[in-house]
Chains A and B, each alone.
Chain A
Amino acid sequence: MARMKFLCDAERCIECNACVTACKNENEVPWGVNRRRVVTLNDGVPGEKSISVACMHCTDAPCAAVCPVDCFYTTDDGIVLHDKDLCIGCGYCFYACPFGAPQYPQQEAFGVRGKMDKCTFCAGGPTEDLADAEYAKYGANRVAEGKLPACAEMCSTKALLAGDGDMVADIYRERIMRRSGRPQTWGWDKAYGGGV
């Protein structure tokens, strides 16, 4: 069984935000919800690096651990999904997540947030695969169609890799061998407990 992972190659990311656009377009997410974002470090100075970040689908997901209604589950592919029918919009997953992945359609007084939304690795949700209800609540289910997440598929420099963790690691390791330098498997330690 595959163990799905994201990897963003900081030496390749050119901060074009195509992944962000692809995600919004593919999943029709509401205004204000950003399942993926690109963060640039040392912007404008030599050594500038950009990273595209979304839910990393952690091995021991902190969001799932703190959820008061236990609405998270991990699929056989290692994708962390949640059930919006159970979610009460309390915001705890947002407190716990290291990557700032959980998003809310609202952020108002009296703790009104609405149901949490996050990257699904383009794998939909707990409802029936590829049903209209699934698309409305969770967005696309490309994994059920045998495809990979839209963000990684769209990446022009192939900086953002998505897929089976071993294959992603092999591709990345080969790149490191060719171009030298140290591997920077950004976020992997935090999400999966180890690098490439």
Chain B
Amino acid sequence: MKNREQKKANGKRAHVRIMLWSLLLIAVGAMVAPLGGYLFVEIAEAQSFEQTNPRSETTWRDVRVGNEGITTVRGDETGVLIQNGGENWRQLRNGIVAAIMPWVMGIALVGISLVYFIGGKHKLDEKPSGRVVPRWKLWERVLHWSTATMFILLSITGLSLLFGRAVMIPLLGPEGFAAYAGVAMMTHNYVGPFFTACVALMALAWTWHNIPNRTDLAWFKAGGGFLKGKHPSAGRMNGGEKVWFWFIVLVGGAVCVSGVVMNFPIWGQTREMMQQANLVHAVAAILWIGLFFGHAYIGTLGTEGAIDGMKTGYVSVEWAKQHHDLWYEEVKDQEIDASEIGLESGVAVRQDRPASTG
């Protein structure tokens, strides 16, 4: 009997022991098992995600440098997701170009004013006798004035597109300026190619007269006659005119080419090309406008008698001797009296022919 009770007690103790151990196991298991999720994620991340969904190390880097993908949308560069050049173009155009280039024009105008008010007009030394020599043929004058008219038209419309937002919207209002800008852009775009053709024609027609030579060197050394005193020798074109000519061929050429690139977006130009063309166009064109101010001043107000050549085709003999002495020697056999060819304007036929300034 006692033995039986002993056995029963032992069995009960074993039962409690098993129960306690089970509880402990359950408690530990309950704490550890959820952590298995982390292990699973680790394994999943290490294997399956990269295996089922691989990612090129460089995919997004490629996108950022503008590499192309494929797309069903037709067109140039439609496969490019990010085009970075635009931001650079924006910074350069709105920053450096818009901030510095107006100064070029301003400085040119101030310089010309200083020359005019301090140096004064470049007058004829001798009183015109009424004799003239031919300087520019009719087709040359037509070419010059066509180009000049278009140049001024393009300058005004072009500057309007670059600075109009800052300068003209406050004056005209957004609607007024937009209406003007639409016409200005159309004018600029349609006149541009004809202007380009005229510039090319001028370059071809007048290259021969503008080959630099030794005379030009002496001309520059003498300061082009701007300093009072003796006038340096010059052929048909003096050093200054040659500089203007070659400036037009090179810088003006850049303006024309870059303009054509932007004006005909039908040859598959990339946006990068357009951005670069726009910057070249703006910078070169404003430099051109700056030098044009000088050209226009010297040809009209600055030099007495200079405008006659481009206006009537003839210049007074006195002007020719003073400014282009070597050329005068070549053409003096064509000398003629102004009244014989019916000249109506110019220093040679003016009633109040200028007296010598001594």
Contacts and interface: CB of A to CB of B under 8 A. Distances in A.
A41 B266 contact: no
Interface centre among A69, A97, A110, A184 (most CB of B within 10 A): A69
Contacts of A107: 265-266
A72 B71 CA distance: 28
B69 A40 contact: yes
A77 to B, nearest CB: 22
A86 B193 CA distance: 26
Contacts of A40: 69-71
B89 A38 contact: no
Interface in A28-63: 34, 37-43, 46-47, 49, 51, 53, 62
A85 B86 contact: no
B88 to A, nearest CB: 10
B264 interface: yes
What's the interface size class on B, roughly?
35 or more
At the interface, is chain A mostly helix, strand, loop or mixed?
Answer: loop
At the interface, is chain B mostly helix, strand, loop or mixed?
Answer: helix
B177 A113 contact: no
Nearest to B80: A100
B59 interface: yes
Contact of A69 (B181, B264, B274): B181
A192 interface: no
B178 A99 contact: no
Contacts of B69: 39-43, 51
A93 to B, nearest CB: 9
A66 interface: yes
Nearest to A41: B69
Nearest to B277: A95
Nearest to A44: B70
A110 B185 contact: no
B94 A70 contact: no
A190 B82 contact: yes
B271 A90 contact: no
A34 B165 contact: no
Nearest to B67: A41
Interface stretch (B50-58, B217-225, B319-327, B349-357): B50-58
Interface string B158-174: 00011011000100001
B178 A88 contact: yes
Given A46-B54, A180-B45, A96 B89 contact: yes
A131 B178 CA distance: 23
A186 interface: yes
A8 B238 CA distance: 66
Contact of A96 (B59, B75, B86): B86
16 contacts: A38-B72, A39-B78, A39-B80, A46-B54, A49-B59, A51-B81, A69-B181, A86-B175, A92-B278, A96-B86, A109-B264, A110-B193, A110-B263, A180-B41, A181-B53, A187-B82
Given A20-B73, A40-B69, A71-B178, 20 more contacts: A11-B53, A39-B70, A39-B79, A42-B69, A47-B54, A47-B56, A49-B55, A62-B87, A67-B165, A70-B165, A70-B174, A85-B178, A86-B174, A97-B86, A99-B82, A108-B266, A110-B264, A111-B263, A180-B45, A186-B63
Top 10 A-B residue pairs of the complex, sorted by shortest distance between their CB atoms: A86-B178, A37-B73, A111-B189, A96-B86, A41-B69, A39-B69, A88-B182, A47-B56, A47-B54, A69-B178
